[in-house]
Amino acid sequence: MGKETLILLLLLVSGLLCGSIIGEILSPWVPFLTKSKVITWSPSADLEILKYDLNFQVKLNLASVGGLALAFWIHRRMK
């Protein structure tokens, strides 16, 4: 994985986190920012010698999507 891809992933994750935190802070005044949709993915397998069960969950709301878009815009401006 290249340095550029790693920077993009870090920016996108930080944008999601910052957007979500800002949405929680502003929720008393702008309540529609906290309405969220949960996306889950749970791959699992039971082989005779190996068994695994992973759970991934992403909770998206309007503020976190805004933070994601802002992070992508910042990445594009860095080039």
Q: Are strands 51-53 and 56-61 parallel, antiparallel or unpaired?
A: unpaired
Query: pLDDT value at position 1?
Result: 66
Model pTM above 0.95: no
Delimit the domains of the chain by residue range: 3-78
Contact 30, 54 (CB under 8 A): no
Query: pLDDT value at position 39?
Result: 93
Intervals of the chain under pLDDT 50? none
Query: pLDDT value at position 43?
Result: 93
Query: pLDDT value at position 33?
Result: 83
Query: pLDDT value at position 15?
Result: 93
Residues 6+ apart with CB under 8 A from 22: 63, 67
Mean pLDDT of the chain: 90
